[in-house]
Amino acid sequence: MEKIASMKNQKVKQWKKLQTAKGRKEAGAYLIEGTHLLKEAIKADANILEVVMTEAFHEQSDLQIAEGDIILVSQEILASLAQTETPQGVVAIVQIPEAVPILEYRGKYILLDQVQDPGNVGTIIRTADAAGYAGVILGEGSVDLYNDKVLRSMQGSHFHLPVYRGDLQEMIPEFKKNGIPVYGTELNEAAVDYRTVSPTDAVALVLGNEGNGVSGKILALTDQNLYIPIFGEAESLNVAVAAGILLYHFVG
Amino acid sequence: MEKIASMKNQKVKQWKKLQTAKGRKEAGAYLIEGTHLLKEAIKADANILEVVMTEAFHEQSDLQIAEGDIILVSQEILASLAQTETPQGVVAIVQIPEAVPILEYRGKYILLDQVQDPGNVGTIIRTADAAGYAGVILGEGSVDLYNDKVLRSMQGSHFHLPVYRGDLQEMIPEFKKNGIPVYGTELNEAAVDYRTVSPTDAVALVLGNEGNGVSGKILALTDQNLYIPIFGEAESLNVAVAAGILLYHFVG
């Protein structure tokens, strides 16, 4: 096993660059943290480039990783790579897949229009996975998929279903051309109560930005726009909660 | 208007103590941050003890607050009181209500068994407000209601519906005695698919800890336990998302 003790080691410097979207893009790789995500990556046969752990973690770990693939580092180095307050003692560097599976325009999809909170984006992808959706599309202005907070709330769901990036204005007409109903979400009189719309085998649901909702130019392209009724005094729902309610509504 | 420029000022020290659950308990008060929450507090007629802002914020603010009630502080003091990275420039000290309205055992309630993530607790209370629920009950081991992250994700919903603290093992029999069906949530064979249960006017739904779910001793007390089916490969749903799906299911 290779061992690294110095924070100034060239590899450590390279790994730390993966903490930014720019660094990830340049390296074509991202960092995952903790045993759960690492096990998910192994199960999904992801291309794991390096597994970095402390000696203490290595001694009590039951992970099935060849010794030659492990790099042991000091507590200090691991803490600098991890982004949680009490890291478990392991991080791994995973290659960003070069190609995303072709979008088949079959089944259920969720489209995110400028959803910016990484916890919300990750939670929505996790929910889409749970609800058996075919894929998630991140529109322009949505947060980076490999952001550490997105990864933490996704809990490995990006290994289970494809997550695309694309221009929603170009993709919505494609869904419609393929006979898939496209529903936006908005809180106004023109929208219809989601409970009046029957579940369908295929659907494209658009969720929007935390503060501003789905943008007007996107709402104009959909077949219909839905709202979730508010019965109390809250002004709105959290976008990940709204997504959960709608995703499961369309499951039927 | 009173002005405070020194971080060592006695008031500043007192306010900073409100950043911990212990300090809030001793003072019987909590800190809110930003204009949205302050407006909600004013609208709800909450007992606002002090409003603290920077001079820059005061100059451009349209808040209707008597000059005598405002304390101007330096940017440095405000930043030390605020818990967001880019504070808006205003915080307020609000009294914790001495009495919670009597629990009437009428309508819909949500009960939280050791839900520990403050963002989840706040989001669930916001959703309960949106869905028109009668109240939320925080069981033992749930996070403090006045934690800054709870407050941020609640978005003022604690001003709209009562939030109780109590021993769920004592309260569940009370719900049952009052003819209110009590549903736990769990992911196993003994539970039933939530979609097979019809919405009712009154209900008590129990959601559990992020990692461990609802504890066994609570599940044993309920009328029935429900699960949300998983169609994909995710192991579970985020608890706030699961709450949203169930809360709106019971609205009908």
What is the nearest CA distance from A155 to chain B, expressed in angstroms?
8
Instruction: Please report the pLDDT score of residue B5 as a whole number.
Output: 93
Alpha-carbon gap, residue A24 to A16, rounded angstroms: 10
Please name the residue of chain B whose CA is at the shortest distance from the CA of residue A240: B241
Instruction: Please report the pLDDT score of residue B187 as a whole number.
Output: 80
- Strand bridging mode A203-208 / A108-113: parallel
Write out residues 204-243 of A within 8 Å (CB-CB) of B: 228-238, 240-243
Instruction: Please report the pLDDT score of residue A1 as a whole number.
Output: 86
Residue with token string 């709450």 = B243
Write out residues 148-187 of A within 8 Å (CB-CB) of B: 153, 155, 157, 160-161
Q: Yes or no: say if B152 and B102 are a contact pair by the CB < 8 Å rule.
A: no
Q: Yes or no: say if B188 and B69 are a contact pair by the CB < 8 Å rule.
A: no
CB contact under 8 A, B126 and A248: no
* % of chain B at pLDDT higher than 90: 90
3.40.1280.10, 3.50.50.60, 3.40.1480.10, 3.30.70.2970: which CATH number matches A108-251? 3.40.1280.10
Instruction: Please report the pLDDT score of residue A99 as a whole number.
Output: 85
CB contact under 8 A, A245 and B242: no
Please name the residue of chain B whose CA is at the shortest distance from the CA of residue A160: B233
Phi/psi of residue B158, nearest 5 degrees: -65, -15
N-term to C-term CA, chain B: 52
Nearest by CB: B241 against A228, A235, A244: A244
Please name the residue of chain B whose CA is at the shortest distance from the CA of residue A230: B130
Chain B partners within 8 Å of A133 (Cβ): 232
Q: Over its length of 252 residues, how does chain A's per-residue pLDDT go in tens digits?
A: 899 999 999 999 999 999 999 999 999 999 999 999 999 999 999 999 999 999 999 999 988 888 888 999 999 999 999 998 889 999 999 999 988 889 999 999 999 999 999 999 999 999 999 999 999 999 988 899 999 999 999 999 999 999 999 999 999 999 999 999 999 999 777 899 999 999 999 999 999 999 999 999 999 999 999 999 999 999 999 999 999 999 999 998
Residue with token string 């749930």 = B142
Phi/psi of residue A50, nearest 5 degrees: -150, 145
Residue with token string 């502080």 = B73
**In which residue ranges of chain B is CATH 3.40.1280.10 found?**
108-251
The answer to whether B251 faces chain A, any CB pair under 8 Å, is yes
What is the nearest CA distance from B234 to chain A, expressed in angstroms?
5
Give the DSSP letter of residue B164.
E
Burial class of residue A217 (count of CB atoms within 10 Å of its CB; 0-12, 13-18, 19+): exposed
Q: Which long-range contacts (CB under 8 A, 24 or more apart) does A70-77 make?
A: A70/A1, A70/A2, A71/A1, A71/A2, A71/A3, A71/A4, A71/A11, A72/A1, A72/A2, A72/A3, A72/A4, A73/A3, A73/A4, A73/A5, A73/A12, A74/A4, A74/A5, A76/A7, A77/A4, A77/A5, A77/A7, A77/A9, A77/A12, A77/A52
Judged against a pLDDT cut of 80, whether residue B189 lies above it is answered with no
CB contact under 8 A, A153 and B238: yes
Please name the residue of chain A whose CA is at the shortest distance from the CA of residue B125: A234
Residues 6+ apart with CB under 8 A from B209: B113, B114, B115, B116, B141, B215, B239
Instruction: Please report the pLDDT score of residue B204 as a whole number.
Output: 98
- Strand bridging mode A90-95 / A182-185: unpaired
Nearest by CB: B241 against A161, A228, A240: A240
The answer to whether B245 faces chain A, any CB pair under 8 Å, is yes
Instruction: Please report the pLDDT score of residue A252 as a whole number.
Output: 85
The answer to whether A245 faces chain B, any CB pair under 8 Å, is yes
Instruction: Please provide the DSSP assignment of A93-106 as one string.
Output: EEEPPS-PPPP---
Tell me how many residue pairs between chain A and chain B have CB atoms under 8 A apart.
105
Judged against a pLDDT cut of 90, whether residue B62 lies above it is answered with no
CATH topology of domain A2-95: 60s Ribosomal Protein L30; Chain: A; (3.30.1330)
Q: Model confidence over B122-148: pLDDT tens digits?
A: 999 999 999 999 999 999 888 999 999
The answer to whether A123 faces chain B, any CB pair under 8 Å, is yes
Judged against a pLDDT cut of 80, whether residue B72 lies above it is answered with yes
Chain B partners within 8 Å of A203 (Cβ): none
CB contact under 8 A, A234 and B157: yes
Please name the residue of chain A whose CA is at the shortest distance from the CA of residue B196: A252
Write out residues 49-78 of B within 8 Å (CB-CB) of A: none
Q: Model confidence over B220-235: pLDDT tens digits?
A: 999 999 999 999 999 9
**In which residue ranges of chain A is CATH 3.30.1330.30 found?**
2-95
Q: Mean pLDDT in chain B?
A: 95
Instruction: Please report the pLDDT score of residue B190 as a whole number.
Output: 83
CB contact under 8 A, A251 and B231: yes
